[in-house]
Amino acid sequence: IKGVLVDEVTLLAAASGIIAGDVITAINDKATGDLYAFKEATRPIAMSNRAVVTVYRGGQYKRIDVISNEELGLAQMEAAPMINATDPSPHGYYGACEKCHAIAKTVKNTGQMAKDGGDVLTKKAPPIKWGVKAPHGNRGVCVNCHTVIQ
């Protein structure tokens, strides 16, 4: 599925039926395969108060009418939020975590800011031995989060 993953919704989007976890695949039948295409698809409707948004949800495509009393405006071009190396996946599998998310400060990427430490999750991925089975699904290159020991 090519599209833009919705991680948060505005009040208008929620009222229209768009929910977090939807993948927006088109706006007024214009494909939104990535953030750039999504931004371009919102340009023609910026001054409009109506659009048809196609989403992929639960294995099916669904067309949703978005109707507002005001202009819809341009897309909010926000990237996926930063995650800790030990965070559980906030959504279904879409490939390696680092494909979309910045991984908070780890052994490898020491230049990255630390994520807000106000939660109770482990802050550092545990060391793993070379050649053992991964402790989780494919989240990207092991050394991005873990120290690999012999």
40: tokens are 């371009």
Whether pLDDT at 19 is above 50? yes
Q: Give per-residue pLDDT as tens, 26-79.
A: 999 999 998 889 989 999 999 999 999 999 998 999 999 999 998 888 777 766
95/37 same-domain check: no
150/101 same-domain check: yes
Lowest mean pLDDT among 2-11, 20-29, 77-86: 77-86
Q: When comparing pLDDT for 147 and 124, which is higher?
A: 147
Domain assignment of residue 34, yes or no: yes
23-27 and 4-5 as β-strands: parallel, antiparallel, unpaired?
antiparallel
Q: Give per-residue pLDDT as tens, 102-119.
A: 777 665 655 555 555 444
Domain span at 107: 79-150
85/129 same-domain check: yes
63/10 same-domain check: yes
Q: When comparing pLDDT for 131 and 94, which is higher?
A: 131
- Backbone φ and ψ for 56, nearest 5 degrees, come out as -110, 120
89/145 same-domain check: yes
When divided into structural domains, the chain yields a total of: 2
2: tokens are 């090519």
- CATH number for the domain spanning 57: value is 2.30.42.10
Please report where in the chains the tokens 């929620």 appear, as a residue: 14
146/83 same-domain check: yes
| pTM flag (> 0.85) | no
30-31 and 23-27 as β-strands: parallel, antiparallel, unpaired?
antiparallel
**Of 41, 67, 93, which marks where a domain is finished?**
67
CA distances from residue 128 to 32, 134, 136, 138, 142 in whole angstroms, order as listed: 39, 8, 12, 15, 9
Domain assignment of residue 73, yes or no: no
45/92 same-domain check: no
Residue 31: CB atoms within 10 A of its CB come to: 15
Q: When comparing pLDDT for 138 and 47, which is higher?
A: 47
